[in-house]
Amino acid sequence: MLSFKVLVLCVLVVGMMSGGAAKAANPVIEIETSLGKIKVELFEDKAPITVKNFMDYVEAKHYDGLTFHRVIEKFMVQGGGMEPNGTQRKTKDPIKNESTNGLSNLRGTIAMARTGVPDSATSQFFINTVDNEFLDKAKSRDGVGYCVFGRVIEGMDVVDKIKGVKTAQDDKPVEDVLIKSVKKVEAKK
């Protein structure tokens, strides 16, 4: 009888430990562009400051109506800051660079754009169109790198359409690639 009670107690303790610590799924966002939709899983566990910052901009509808203003086919597509007329939209204060999170700038990952100052990222992001491991902290020339905070889970064909648009000398698309909206969507289970 005593061993049965011990067994039941053990099952309850293990159940409480595993069930009580159930982890929520990573957030998923959908970027609707003038060339199609892109779904991105955000790695909240690896880049919590960056994901919170990005989601704050999503909830404020900051990205709606902006453009992918910098497109380099064999590198990346960048958006999240410029109006179609080239005016930069006002942003919040910069955030801490989380490039030490162990994630790599591989094809299909999304990362924060920044200036030469390590902790200068605000709203602009880029999607890697090729493996860009030289942007990782371990391989970057500045020793800082660029923070990866998610990956494309649907719509890489749309990213490939964007990377293929005709650009001017300054890497700006000749015809605007609009970000119609960015919103949180339910993750597939």
The range of the structural domain enclosing residue 55 comes to 25-185
State percent of the chain over pLDDT 90.
85
Q: What is the mean pLDDT of the chain?
A: 91
| Sign of the CA dihedral with 78 first, then 134, 108, and 40 last | negative
Full-model pTM: 0.88
Q: What is the pLDDT of residue 132?
A: 98
Could you read off the pLDDT of 153-169 as tens digits, one per residue? 999 999 999 999 999 99
DSSP 8-class letter at 182: E
- The domain that holds 86 is classified in CATH as 2.40.100.10
Question: What pLDDT sits at residue 27?
Answer: 97
Q: How many domains does the chain have?
A: 1
Counted residue by residue, the chain has a size of 189
In a domain, 18, yes or no: no
pLDDT at 44 over 90: yes
3 in a structural domain: no
pLDDT tens per residue across span 2-14 = 554 544 444 444 4
Asked whether residue 2 is domain-assigned, the answer is no
Q: Which residue is it, tokens 């094809």?
A: 107
